[in-house]
Amino acid sequence: MLIQRNRRVERHTTEPREHNTQGTPEREDNPWIPNFLEAKPVRIVSLIVGILFVIWLLTATIIIVPPGHRGVLLTLGKVEELNLPEGLHIIVPWQNVVAMPVMIQKAEVTESTASNDLQEITTKLAVHYRINEALAWKVYQTMRTDYLHLLIEPVIMEELKATTADWTAEHLIVERPLVVIQLTETLNKRLQPFGIEILTVNFIDFQFSVEFWDAIERKVVATQDALTERNKVEISRFQQLQNIINAEGQYNVTVIRASADAQQKIIAAQAEAQRILIEAEAQAKAIKIINEQVTSEYVNYLRWLRWDGKLPGVLVTGTDSDLLITIPTVP
């Protein structure tokens, strides 16, 4: 019986269907649809529904977290206190994953503020921030994905006004790095408890009133004039100091030269005195030696050497010595 049924099925699948002789054509076979499905169209619908269910099941259980994001896992609408890293994850159909960006993002605000000296300032500020990777689930739980408009921008505007109010308009320009540091610290202090980290703060533009720029220009001109006058005074003072230095140098040169001349004269006088003293001592020694060695015979010898051959007019001889005194005669 089973063999007959198989033969009947085989004959049914291989032999073409014939048209009804009464004028009612039979349904033609579709080569792309199996006969068991073609015989009962309900099976086709069931098969399509099954395929769609498998596709839905795969898409509902396989989740891919893109780069620069963390996956926030929701179980029947409840936020789980965990973050799925980047890549492929398998979840159950009653769970869902929301991708929260943790890469660097930028917020730009333009706000009208007032400085400490009541100058109106229009400030354009750019703040780079990111969500703390470990607290991505908390950020989604408290603010969903609208954290920029709900929290970050209002806090930036408020702290910008508070910070500019601590500085004068002039110092906001001159001390901009210090203002950036102060604003970065205050923003981090306000936003870190919510899982937001501030990376950099940049003042793109400061717009002041026309009166302020006129006042700045007048101040700059006055400062330049004061510096010019100060430079003139410094130049005059330097010239006077230079003249004093030159005069002192000339005086020192004159004193040194006079001292050298006086010293030279003193040395020359000392040398001359020393020479005279030496000559006098030598002459005295010579006289002493001569007096010690001269005899009466040597004296008479000298007389005879000096006599010119004329007899004296008067001749006196003494008894005590051989002293000879000549008195010239009157012609």
Do 48 and 139 fall within a single domain?
Answer: no
Do 113 and 195 fall within a single domain?
Answer: yes
pLDDT above 90 covers what percent of the chain? Answer: 34
180-195 in b/e form (b: 16+ CB < 10 A) is bebbbebbeebbeebb
Condensed to tens digits (0 to 9), the pLDDT of residues 295-314 reads: 777 677 767 777 777 766 65
Do 137 and 195 fall within a single domain?
Answer: yes
Q: Is residue 139 part of a domain?
A: yes
For residue 25, the model assigns a pLDDT of 47
For residue 47, the model assigns a pLDDT of 73
Q: Is residue 321 part of a domain?
A: yes
Question: Between vectors from CA 129 to CA 124 and to CA 135, what angle results, nearest 5°?
Answer: 150
Q: DSSP letters of 197-242?
A: EEEEEEEEEEEE-HHHHHHHHHHHHHHHHHHHHHHHHHHHHHHHHH
| Number of domains forming the structure of the chain | 3
200: CATH: 3.30.479.30
Q: Is residue 272 part of a domain?
A: no
- On the question of pLDDT at 57 being above 50, the answer is yes
Asked if 124 contacts 205 with a C-beta cutoff of 8 angstroms, the reply is yes
Cite the DSSP H helix spans in the chain.
2-14, 35-39, 41-61, 136-143, 147, 153-164, 169-174, 176-191, 210-293, 296-306
Domain span including residue 52: 2-59
- On the question of pLDDT at 68 being above 90, the answer is yes
Domain boundary pick from 158, 189, 208: 208
- On the question of pLDDT at 24 being above 60, the answer is no
The C-alpha R_g of the chain, in whole angstroms, comes to: 65
pTM above 0.75, yes or no: no
Domain boundary pick from 152, 182, 208: 208
Structure tokens at 277: 């003293």
Q: Is residue 22 part of a domain?
A: yes
Q: Is residue 159 part of a domain?
A: yes
- On the question of pLDDT at 31 being above 50, the answer is yes
* SS3 label, residue 195: coil
Write the DSSP symbol of residue 85. Answer: -
Q: Is residue 137 part of a domain?
A: yes
- Greater model confidence, 26 or 247: 247
In order of 11, 26, 35, 37, 56, the CA distances from 32 in angstroms are 19, 18, 9, 10, 25
Asked if 33 contacts 39 with a C-beta cutoff of 8 angstroms, the reply is no
Q: Is residue 196 part of a domain?
A: yes
Asked if 215 contacts 206 with a C-beta cutoff of 8 angstroms, the reply is no
Do 48 and 141 fall within a single domain?
Answer: no
Mean pLDDT of the chain: 79
Condensed to tens digits (0 to 9), the pLDDT of residues 179-234 reads: 999 999 999 999 999 999 999 999 998 887 777 767 676 777 777 778 887 888 88
Average the pLDDT over 54-65 and give the result: 79
Closest listed residue to residue 125, CA positions, set 191, 190, 47, 207: 207
Question: Out of 17-26, 60-69, 111-120, 133-142, which region has the weakest mean confidence (pLDDT)?
Answer: 17-26
Asked if 219 contacts 137 with a C-beta cutoff of 8 angstroms, the reply is no
Domain boundary pick from 59, 75, 94: 59
pLDDT above 70 covers what percent of the chain? Answer: 76
225-254 in b/e form (b: 16+ CB < 10 A) is eeeeeeeeeeeeeeeeeeeeeeeeeeeeee
- Greater model confidence, 247 or 296: 247
- Greater model confidence, 256 or 54: 256
Q: Is residue 219 part of a domain?
A: no
- On the question of pLDDT at 20 being above 50, the answer is no
